[in-house]
């Protein structure tokens, strides 16, 4: 199965009454497979032209989508099609692109972005292509909101997702192996038989059975300071147990941590505040900082 990247520019947002005015498809290597203006069968509204810059004069000799569709269908059938806002683009095609496997780069990127950044505000339900392309380091060639330029930007975002998405695990004292070893109360995991040995940590000259014991001894009334304390104790743990540090590094480091979850079945609101997926979890945010600090000192 090949992967193609697709983008459209249209006369408006409603596919029932609007049409495509420009279409671009590129392959996995970024080579242009199809780039063409399209006659939508109607005048282009000024508000649409204001977005993409395509005018009625530009499409006078352009083919209709019905003329292009046999070529498009033959090209995409049985392959993966990546569009940034796939739910929108696919509706403008005769078969909703059901001839192919359609995936949405926007949803994938937004999910990974949320894992890496602790944000709860609704403004980040989805992240537009301009912000995603900036975040992933895309270098634009051509104007945004033209089909080929947007398709190339979508490809960059998708490739960034491919490089940074890692399979995560649930990190808790109830998890066997690495998940139990990375939790703070490793003694609890050890007593449950989830890990084979303990992970004591020396902190400020005192040996503690695990990170949790050290944290409980040094935490204060200042929650922000407590996060820093916990991160530094985690740093000490990873530094003093280099095989554990290497296990995280070999799985992708920060990307691995942000793909993990911390779910322990907490009951109280205070305990629940430590739980979550990726950077929604206070514990995983501290683990990430601790890992970064440990890596910085291991060089």
For 143-197, the pLDDT digits (tens) are 888 999 999 999 999 999 998 887 889 999 999 999 999 999 999 999 999 999 9
Query: Could you tell me if 183 and 189 are in contact, meaning their C-beta atoms sit under 8 angstroms apart?
Result: yes
What percentage of the chain exceeds 70 in pLDDT? 97
Average pLDDT, the chain: 93
Averaged pLDDT, 210-234: 97
> pLDDT tens for residues 75-88?
999 999 999 999 99
The confidence band for 122, taking pLDDT boundaries of 50, 70 and 90, is: very low
Of 99, 95, 124, the C-alpha closest to 109 is: 124
CA-to-CA distance for 87 and 77, rounded, in angstroms?
Answer: 18
What are the residue ranges of CATH 3.30.420.10 in the chain? Answer: 3-164
Name which residue leads in pLDDT, 199 or 278: 199
What integer pLDDT is reported at residue 269 of this predicted model? 85
Structure tokens at 210: 């695990």
- Render pLDDT for 23-76 as a digit per residue (tens, 0 to 9): 999 999 999 999 999 999 999 999 999 999 999 999 999 999 999 999 999 999
pLDDT band at 265 (very low <50, low <70, confident <90, very high): confident
CA pair distance 36, 21, nearest whole angstrom: 9
Token pair recorded at residue 120 = 């709860």
Both tokens assigned to 103? 């995936």
Whose structure tokens read 């960034």? 160
Instruction: For tokens 């995983």, name the residue.
Output: 284
Per-residue pLDDT at 275 exceeds 90: yes
Q: Is 35 helix (H, G, I), strand (E, B) or coil?
A: strand
Cα angle value 198/201/202 (rounded, 5°): 145
With cut-offs at 50, 70 and 90, classify the pLDDT of residue 208.
very high
Structure confidence at residue 119 as a pLDDT band (50, 70, 90) = low
Q: What is the pLDDT of residues 124-145, one digit of tens each?
A: 578 999 999 999 999 998 888 8
Q: What is the pTM of this model?
A: 0.68
- Measured CA to CA, the distance from residue 71 to residue 232 in angstroms comes to 59
Q: Which backbone phi and psi does 220 adopt, to 5 degrees?
A: -125, -170
For 173, the token pair is 């004292």
Kindly calculate the radius of gyration of the chain based on its CA atoms and give it in whole angstroms: 25
**30 and 152 in contact (C-beta within 8 Å)?**
yes
User: Would you state the CATH architecture of domain 3-164?
Assistant: 2-Layer Sandwich (3.30)
Given a cut of 60, is residue 229 above it in pLDDT? yes
Average pLDDT over every residue of 188-207: 96
Spatial distance between the Cα atoms of 195 and 168, rounded to a whole number of angstroms: 18
Q: Where are the alpha helices (DSSP H) in 165-281?
A: 178-181, 186-191, 211-218, 223-240, 242-250, 254-259, 269-272
- In the chain, what is the straight-line distance between the N-terminal and C-terminal CA atoms, in Å? 41
pLDDT value, residue 68: 97
Residue 43 DSSP label = P
Q: What is the pLDDT of residue 261?
A: 94
Distance CA(118)–CA(124), nearest Å, equals 11
The set of long-range contacts for 224-229, using a CB threshold of 8 Å and a minimum separation of 24, is 227/282, 227/285, 227/286, 227/289, 228/289
Please tell me the distance from the alpha carbon of residue 66 to that of residue 38, in angstroms, as a whole number: 10
């Amino acid at each position: 199965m090949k992967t193609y990247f697709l983008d459209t520019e249209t006369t408006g947002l409603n596919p029932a009454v609007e049409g495509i005015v420009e279409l671009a498809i590129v392959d996995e290597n970024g080579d242009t497979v199809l780039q063409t203006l399209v006659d939508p069968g109607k005048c282009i509204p000024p508000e649409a032209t204001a977005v993409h810059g395509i005018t009625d004069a530009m499409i006078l000799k352009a083919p209709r989508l019905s003329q292009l569709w046999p070529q498009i269908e033959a090209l995409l059938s049985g392959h993966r099609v990546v569009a940034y806002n796939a739910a929108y683009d696919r509706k403008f095609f005769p078969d909703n692109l059901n001839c192919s496997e359609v995936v949405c780069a926007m949803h994938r990127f937004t999910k990974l972005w949320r894992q890496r950044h602790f944000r709860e505000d609704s403004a980040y339900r989805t992240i537009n292509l301009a912000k995603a392309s900036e975040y992933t380091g895309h270098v634009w060639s051509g104007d945004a909101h033209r089909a080929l330029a947007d398709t190339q930007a979508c490809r960059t975002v998708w490739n960034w997702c491919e490089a940074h998405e890692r399979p995560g695990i649930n990190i808790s004292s109830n998890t066997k192996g690495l998940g139990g070893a990375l939790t703070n109360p490793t003694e609890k995991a050890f007593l449950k038989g989830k890990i084979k040995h303990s992970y004591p940590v020396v902190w400020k000259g005192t040996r503690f059975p695990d990170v949790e014991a050290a944290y409980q001894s040094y935490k204060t009334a200042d929650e922000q300071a407590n996060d820093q304390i916990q991160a530094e104790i985690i740093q000490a743990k990873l530094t003093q147990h280099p095989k554990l540090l290497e296990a995280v590094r070999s799985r992708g480091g920060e990307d691995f941590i942000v793909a993990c979850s911390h779910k322990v079945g907490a009951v109280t609101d205070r305990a629940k505040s430590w739980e979550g997926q990726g950077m929604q979890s206070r514990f995983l945010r501290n683990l990430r900082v601790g890992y970064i600090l440990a890596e910085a000192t291991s060089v």
